A and B are shown apart, each in its own frame.
Chain A
Amino acid sequence: MIKLQHVSKTFRVGKNRIEALKDVSLEVHKGEIFGVIGFSGAGKSTLIRCVNLLERPTSGQVVVDGENVLQLNKTRLRLLRRKIGMIFQGYNLLETANVYENVATPLKLEGVPKEEIKARTEKYLEIVGLSDRKNAFPSQLSGGQKQRVAIARALAHEPEVLLSDEATSALDPNTTDAILELLLKVNKELGITIFLITHELNVIQRICDRVAVMENGRVVEQGTVVDVFTQPQQPMTRRFISTESKFQIPETVKSDLLKSGRLVKLTFIGESSKDPVLATLAKQYDVLPSIIAGGIDQLKDQSVGRLLVHLKGDEAKVGTAIDFLHDQDVLVEEVKN
């Protein structure tokens, strides 16, 4: 659906050249929710803006729905943009227009027939749950409601792709959840492909199928959310995930535990959590596992369990026990000093 190939973007600020994107390639498949995560300044915003050419790449290719975006003339680009909806962190609504007008105005400017405008505006306000606030002005709405209006406005063009530029970053956690639910619904029920950028891991966890991690203008890692989440390869990715789900054990506790045995971090994905591996350890390998910390992370359609386990016992036995764990459907990572 969206293909970015070797996209680079350099800004000139006075005499300085800032490379915002360095040779970024990624592909968003039809029907999926693809997320790009990175700390601010990583180039995410520039990347998403290259898709509909709000920002023109310095080099590389952008293909949307089979069309090479960079080769389109102005008129064809305008037509393509109507197939690509976009929502923003700042909502970007007309302050002087009420909810209904905010959704209807762009359609009017595109020359959509009157009846159709009315039908679509009402339909999409219904979908985002704002039918009863048609006459309210943006200043009378909460952040979440404003974002709903913006989503309705984007959907009213009946786009094939929805770009989301940090759409939940200005919202509180509850409202964020509600907006994410809505995006999931848009993806599932209307079949709209979603390409989003965010700095919140929670957003990726909750709704994305695949993810790319960005750092300093490059994509450093990409894959399915489950893979990237459970087996992060890059230090950058680990840092991201650790801010959310690492067991924060104090150094002194850790060194004490390491004196009396070995520490392993176990990650269970989905179904593998059913077998009682720890009990097996105690029974068959004669080691004493004790759980130091644990938790469950809910991903879009899978849950991931994590345990930090201390293994005490004869050194050789602990070794074979760890080998046993490796053979199970469990991700094992040893924690060392």
Chain B
Amino acid sequence: MADFINEWGSAIWEGFIQTTQMTLISLAFSILIGLPLGVLLVLTRKGGQWESVPAFTIVNSLINVIRSIPFIILLFFLLPFTKALVGTTIGVRGVIVPLVVACAPYIARLLETAMLEVSKGVIEAYQSMGISTPKIIWHVIIREARSSIILGLTIAIIGLIGETAMAGFVGAGGLGDLAYQFGYVRFQPDVMYAVIIILIVIVQIIQSIGNVIARKLKKN
């Protein structure tokens, strides 16, 4: 055990840091892009406050198209775009772009579902009081949906962690890459087992935190 930690400890720690970095940075950007997209979906759909068939169709199909492409393929497909956007296609920087492209539409979808659960009646009550739409979005829709939003984001984070495993293909490192490179390619299963256990623990912790926060926010 001590030998294993001596030999692999620093590599696993490094992988953990890389995975955390990739996940958090892409999560932040994905929320930044996904939240407005989700709101747009809710507002432009039929019966929404800014009902618009063209706008809804465009956003909706774009999200479907991106969500149809498996991440590993998206990663390579986006290489030119990534290069143009951040100047490199490798390393943590290079993998953030495809991670965000994959995750933002997913988050948009999760948030859309969460926000659609908010009762139409409450929104209407606030409209009848003369409150403007932007304020209703933030203080009524997002507020009322916040518990479901947290649960959705928890799912998205766990999905992101899975996707970072493929970051190894563009040299971004991370836990998944470690397990693949050493555990599979060089056939050192103990490294793979260690990584799997760490990933299981991380996912359990994230899901539990998500559940606790969601329950606290629900208030009923």
Contacts and interface: CB of A to CB of B under 8 A. Distances in A.
A157 B129 contact: yes
B122 A94 contact: yes
A52 to B, nearest CB: 5
Nearest to B147: A96
Contact of B122 (A86, A92, A109): A92
B131 A95 contact: no
Interface of A, helix, strand, loop or mixed by DSSP: mixed
Contacts, number: 75
Interface in A63-84: 77-82, 84
Given A54-B124, A95-B219, 12 more contacts: A77-B130, A80-B130, A81-B129, A86-B125, A92-B121, A94-B143, A94-B144, A95-B144, A105-B139, A109-B131, A138-B220, A140-B220
A54 B127 contact: yes
A110 B125 contact: no
Contacts of A84: 128
A275 B63 CA distance: 80
Given A88-B121, A94-B144, A96-B144, A137 B128 contact: no
A94 B140 contact: yes
Contacts of A157: 129
Nearest to B121: A92
Contacts of A98: 219
Interface string A85-117: 110101111111110000001100110000000
B119 A90 contact: yes
Contacts of B217: 96
B128 A86 contact: yes
A96 B128 contact: no
Pairs of residues from A and B, 8 with the lowest C-beta to C-beta distance, nearest first: A139-B220, A81-B130, A92-B125, A78-B130, A92-B121, A82-B130, A86-B128, A90-B121
Interface residues of B, number: 23
A150 B126 CA distance: 11
A96 B143 contact: yes
Contacts of A110: 129-131
Given A90-B121, A92-B124, A137-B219, A106 B129 contact: yes
A78 B128 contact: no
Contacts of B135: 109
Nearest to A86: B128
B130 A79 contact: yes
B132 interface: yes
Contacts of A80: 130
B122 to A, nearest CB: 5
Given A88-B121, A137-B219, A54 B146 contact: no
Interface in B28-87: none
Given A81-B129, A94-B144, A137 B220 contact: yes
Interface string A229-259: 0000000000000000000000000000000
Nearest to B122: A92
A129 B126 CA distance: 23
Contacts of B128: 52, 54, 81, 84, 86, 163
